[in-house]
C-alpha cells in the first residue's frame, strides 16, 4: 500500500506527546490538551525516546496505566526522557514511573485510593496549583503510592494516606500528580493541566480550527501536486468535511464519488445529491452498486467479515470510478492517484492502530482496506475527534444540517443487521430507522443525543400478538447514546413517551417486527454499534 501520510505542511503546530502506558484515559488526556488549544498526539510507551524527541515535542505527558511500576514486564521508560530538557508531566502510573526513575520511593504500603479523594495542597502558589483551592476533590485509581519524592522535587500535595500526591521541579520542568486530572471528577483538573502547558511548558494556546484547515490545505497541495483525487462521499459529517478541506486545497482536481451500495438509510442518497453538492459545488459521480454489494455479502453473518467485504468492495468501486475518470479525461488528463477518506482518530484507535492497542473492530476505511489498494490515501481528519471535525466543518462554512448530523457508520445498515444482509432485511430496517429518526426530530432531541443506531436482530424471532393472532417476528433494538467523541459513551435517558411512540409506530408500521427493545449499555463495556 502506498503511504497514507501526507507531506508535511509549511508550519507544524507545537505538539504535546501523550505517552500511553495502557491507560483507559490516554485518549481523554489528548482531548483535554486539545481543549486547551494545544495540539497533542498519542504515542505508545514502547516508542524509543529518541524517536519521541525527534518529533520535537514542546512537552510530554506520561499517562496512567494498570500496572505496578515494580511488576515484572510492567511498561518502563528510558530515564533520558527526563534529561532532555523537555517539560514532562506524569499522571498516576506516569507519576510513579517518574518518581522511581529519578530516585524517589514508590511502594505498596496499603495506601489504596479509588474514586473521589480529598486532596490537600501544601504549596498553593506552585506552578500547577496556583489559583486553586487548598482542599479539592480529585479522582484516584492506584494501589502503590509515592512515599518519598526524588531529590530536587518539592512536594505540593498529599492525601490522608499518601504523603506525596503531587510534586514539582521547576528547574528541570518536571511535574507529577498521583491522580487523574483529565477526568471531570477531578474538580480543578483542567486548570492543573493548563497550568502545566502554559506555565510549566510555556506553550501558547494557539492551536485552532483555522490552523487545522490551513495546515491540511498546505499539506494536501504539496501531496497532490497536479494530479487528481477522488473522495468516497457518504453524506456523513466525516466524509463531507474531508471532501470540503480537499476541495479547498485542490479545487476541480477533486471528484467526489458517492457509492449507492444499498446499505443507506431512507432518503440518504437524495440528501447527498441535494444538500452537499448545493453547499459546496463539488463534482459528484454517483455509482449504483447495490447489486454488487448485496451479492458480495450474501450468506455472510460474521461482523468482521462483513466490514472487510464492504471495505474491499468500496475500494473496487473507487478503482472502477478512477478508470472511468481517466478515460473521460483522455490521454492528456492527469492521473487520478489519490483517495480521500474521512478517517477519524477513534477509527484508528479502535482498529488497533497508533498506540499498540487491541483491535476492537475493523473500520471499513482502516482495518477493512484490501492490501492491494492502488491509491495513495489522503486522510485530513485522521488525528481529529468528532467534535473537532464539526468545528472544522463550521470553519469551512458547511451548513448546520451537514455539520451537526448524527454519526452514521461507513458500512451503513450492513452492520446494523445482526445476521445475513439481504434486501428484504435492509428495507425492513430502513423503515424502522426512519421512524425512530422522525420521532426524535419531532421531539427536538437530535442535539440531545450523539446518535441512535437502530439494530435489526435478523436471526432472532420472538412470539407476539398482533391483530388477535400469533406472530413470530423480529426484534428491533434502539441504541440512543450520548458522547463527546465516541471513545466513551453512555445510553441516553430518552423520555418514556418518545420511546413509547417510536415502539408503537415501528410495531404497527413495519411488517415482520413485533418487539422493540432499548439498549441501556454504556461504552465500555459495549461499543456504540452492535457489530
Length of the chain as a residue count: 531
Distance (Å, rounded) from C-alpha 109 to C-alpha 99? 16
- At 382 the three-state DSSP class reads coil
- Buried-exposed string 290-303: b where 16+ CB fall within 10 A, e elsewhere: bebbbebbeebeeb
Neighbours of 54 (CB within 10 A): 10
Which one is catalytic: 113, 146, 168, 182? 182
**DSSP annotation string for 207-255:** --HHHHHHHHHHHHHHHHTT-EEEEE--SSHHHHHHHHHHHHHHGGGEE
The closest of 402, 403, 421 to 412, measured between CA atoms, is 421
Q: Is the dihedral of CA 434, 435, 439, 440 positive or negative?
A: negative
398, exposed or middle or buried, with CB in 10 Å at 0-12, 13-18, 19+?
buried
CA 459-462-465 angle, to 5 degrees, is: 145
Distance (Å, rounded) from C-alpha 191 to C-alpha 197? 10
The closest of 61, 20, 31, 19 to 483, measured between CA atoms, is 31
Distance (Å, rounded) from C-alpha 256 to C-alpha 340? 9
Query: Can 261 be counted among the known catalytic residues?
Result: no
The closest of 429, 152, 482 to 263, measured between CA atoms, is 429
Distance (Å, rounded) from C-alpha 128 to C-alpha 138? 14
Query: Can 92 be counted among the known catalytic residues?
Result: yes
CA 207-228-345 angle, to 5 degrees, is: 35
Distance (Å, rounded) from C-alpha 181 to C-alpha 36? 13
519, exposed or middle or buried, with CB in 10 Å at 0-12, 13-18, 19+?
middle
387, exposed or middle or buried, with CB in 10 Å at 0-12, 13-18, 19+?
middle
Query: Can 182 be counted among the known catalytic residues?
Result: yes
**DSSP annotation string for 278-294:** HHH--EEEEEE-HHHHH
Which one is catalytic: 142, 180, 261, 364? 180
Residues labelled as active-site residues: 92, 180, 182
Amino acid at each position: 500500500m502506498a503511504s497514507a501520510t501526507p507531506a508535511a505542511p509549511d508550519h507544524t503546530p507545537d505538539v504535546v506527546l501523550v505517552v500511553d502506558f495502557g491507560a483507559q484515559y490516554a485518549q481523554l488526556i489528548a482531548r483535554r490538551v486539545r481543549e486547551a488549544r494545544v495540539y497533542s498526539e498519542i504515542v505508545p510507551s514502547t516508542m524509543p525516546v529518541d524517536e519521541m524527541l525527534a518529533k520535537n515535542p514542546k512537552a510530554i505527558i506520561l499517562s496512567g496505566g494498570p500496572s505496578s511500576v515494580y511488576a515484572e514486564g510492567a511498561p518502563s521508560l528510558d530515564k533520558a526522557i527526563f534529561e532532555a530538557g523537555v517539560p514532562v508531566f506524569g499522571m498516576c502510573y506516569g507519576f510513579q514511573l517518574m518518581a522511581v526513575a529519578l530516585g524517589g520511593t514508590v511502594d505498596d504500603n496499603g495506601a489504596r485510593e479509588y474514586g473521589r479523594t480529598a486532596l490537600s495542597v501544601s504549596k498553593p502558589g506552585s506552578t500547577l496549583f496556583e489559583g486553586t483551592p487548598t482542599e479539592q476533590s480529585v479522582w484516584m485509581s492506584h494501589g502503590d503510592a509515592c512515599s518519598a519524592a526524588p531529590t530536587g522535587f518539592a512536594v505540593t500535595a498529599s492525601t490522608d494516606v499518601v504523603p506525596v500526591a503531587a510534586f514539582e521541579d521547576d528547574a528541570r520542568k518536571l511535574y507529577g500528580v498521583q491522580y487523574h486530572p483529565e477526568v471531570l471528577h477531578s474538580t480543578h483538573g483542567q486548570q492543573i493541566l493548563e497550568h502545566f502547558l502554559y506555565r510549566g511548558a510555556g506553550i501558547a494556546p494557539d492551536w485552532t480550527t483555522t490552523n487545522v484547515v490551513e495546515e491540511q490545505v498546505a499539506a494536501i497541495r504539496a501531496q497532490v501536486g497536479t494530479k487528481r483525487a477522488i473522495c468516497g462521499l457518504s453524506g456523513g459529517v466525516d466524509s463531507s468535511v474531508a471532501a470540503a478541506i480537499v476541495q479547498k486545497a485542490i479545487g476541480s482536481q477533486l471528484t467526489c464519488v458517492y457509492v449507492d451500495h444499498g446499505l443507506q438509510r431512507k432518503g440518504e442518497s437524495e440528501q447527498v445529491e441535494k444538500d452537499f453538492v448545493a453547499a459546496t459545488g463539488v463534482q459528484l459521480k454517483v455509482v449504483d452498486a447495490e447489486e454488487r454489494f448485496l451479492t458480495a455479502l450474501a450468506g455472510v453473518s460474521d461482523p468482521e467479515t462483513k466490514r472487510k467485504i464492504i471495505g474491499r468492495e468500496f475500494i473496487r468501486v473507487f478503482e472502477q470510478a478512477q478508470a472511468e475518470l481517466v478515460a473521460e479525461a483522455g490521454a492528456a488528463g492527469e492521473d487520478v492517484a489519490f483517495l480521500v477518506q474521512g478517517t477519524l482518530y477513534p477509527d484508528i484507535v479502535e482498529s488497533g492502530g497508533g498506540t499498540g492497542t487491541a483491535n476492537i473492530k475493523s473500520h471499513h476505511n482502516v482495518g477493512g482496506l484490501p492490501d492491494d489498494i492502488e491509491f495513495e490515501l489522503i486522510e485530513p481528519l485522521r488525528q481529529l475527534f468528532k467534535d473537532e471535525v464539526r468545528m472544522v466543518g463550521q470553519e469551512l462554512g458547511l451548513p448546520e444540517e451537514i455539520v451537526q448530523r448524527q454519526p452514521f457508520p461507513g458500512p451503513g445498515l450492513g452492520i446494523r443487521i445482526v445476521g445475513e444482509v439481504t434486501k428484504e432485511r435492509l428495507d425492513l430496517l430502513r423503515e424502522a430507522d426512519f421512524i425512530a429518526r422522525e420521532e426524535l426530530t419531532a421531539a427536538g432531541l437530535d442535539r440531545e443525543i450523539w446518535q441512535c443506531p437502530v439494530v435489526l436482530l435478523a436471526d432472532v424471532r420472538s412470539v407476539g400478538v398482533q391483530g388477535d393472532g400469533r406472530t413470530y417476528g423480529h426484534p428491533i433494538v434502539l441504541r440512543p447514546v450520548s458522547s463527546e467523541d465516541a471513545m466513551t459513551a453512555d445510553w441516553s435517558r430518552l423520555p418514556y413517551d418518545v420511546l413509547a411512540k417510536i415502539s408503537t409506530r415501528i410495531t404497527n408500521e413495519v411488517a415482520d417486527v413485533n418487539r422493540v427493545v432499548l439498549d441501556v449499555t454504556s461504552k465500555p463495556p459495549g461499543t456504540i454499534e452492535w457489530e
